[in-house]
């Protein structure tokens, strides 16, 4: 579980509620597996932060942590998570190229779509460097080249067109659009609140619009 608070004092009160609930239900939080992260606001940085305890143990402050498979950092940048996806893609592409080298082109394309186009949580990427983004895009292009046995410097747009496979930018745009659609159609009250603020001036729409422009 995750607790979000605007201040240390409020966070301590939230933790106290959790401790009381756990004690009343015969549960106990694992302090060694619990961490504290302070998000930075713009150029502001807090080197000294009061201690926060859970069940008498001091929580370790970390600059980043992995939540439901997605890396979250104190600077709210997505470079770490983009790099996580690039490494995972490299492993999957090498596995496909090694195990299915003798399969037909159609089988390879089917496997490529199944294993190399997931890009888990990529629709949440809104703040990253172009270098990190390009590294993932190049890895995606090289993955299908390696699997299909194509020359290293062949045209990326040409090979995707021939294979009838979406390029990296197209997949990214589709993932973002899918998330927007699910937010607007969700019965969850919190998600409805977010979706209701997705007007032209909202930060969500601004980020996602930039993604479509950047991907084009």
Q: Mean pLDDT of all residues in the chain?
A: 89
Q: What is the mean pLDDT of residues 160-178?
A: 91
Nearby residues of 107 by Cβ (< 8 Å), 6 or more positions away: 100
Q: Higher-confidence residue: 176 or 212? A: 176
Residues forming beta bridges with residue 67, ordered by sequence position = 70
Pairing of strands 35-36, 60-61: parallel
Q: What is the DSSP letter of 37?
A: -
Q: Please report the pLDDT score of residue 23 as a whole number.
A: 93
Q: Is the pLDDT of residue 18 over 90?
A: yes
Residue 39: pLDDT over 80: yes
Query: How high is the pLDDT of residue 214?
Result: 57
Model confidence over 59-110: pLDDT tens digits? 999 999 999 999 999 998 999 999 999 999 999 999 999 999 999 999 999 9
Q: What is the C-alpha separation between 178 and 98, in angstroms, rounded? A: 32
In whole angstroms, give the CA distance from residue 134 to residue 146: 18
> Whole-angstrom Cα distance, residue 7 to residue 156?
49
Residue 161 above 70 pLDDT? yes
Q: How confident is the model at residue 213 (pLDDT cuts 50, 70, 90)?
A: low
């Amino acid at each position: 579980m995750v607790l979000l608070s605007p201040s240390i004092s409020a966070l301590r009160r939230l933790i106290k509620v959790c401790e009381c609930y756990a004690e009343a239900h015969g549960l106990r939080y694992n302090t060694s597996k619990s961490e504290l992260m302070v998000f930075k606001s713009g150029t502001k940085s807090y080197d000294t932060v009061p201690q926060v305890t859970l069940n008498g143990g001091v929580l370790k402050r970390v600059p980043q942590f992995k939540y439901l498979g997605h890396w979250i950092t104190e600077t709210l940048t997505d470079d770490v998570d983009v790099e996580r996806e690039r490494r995972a893609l490299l492993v999957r592409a090498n596995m496909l190229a090694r195990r299915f080298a003798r399969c037909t082109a159609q089988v390879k394309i089917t496997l490529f779509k199944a294993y190399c186009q997931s890009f888990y949580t990529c629709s949440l990427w809104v703040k990253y460097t172009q270098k990190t983004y390009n590294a993932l895009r190049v890895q995606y292009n090289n993955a299908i080249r390696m699997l299909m046995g194509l020359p290293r410097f062949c045209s990326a747009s040409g090979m995707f067109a021939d294979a009838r496979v979406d390029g990296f930018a197209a997949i990214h745009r589709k993932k973002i659009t899918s998330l927007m659609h699910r937010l607007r159609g969700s019965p969850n009250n919190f998600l409805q609140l977010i979706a209701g603020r997705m007007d032209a001036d909202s930060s969500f729409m601004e980020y996602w619009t930039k993604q479509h422009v950047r991907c084009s």
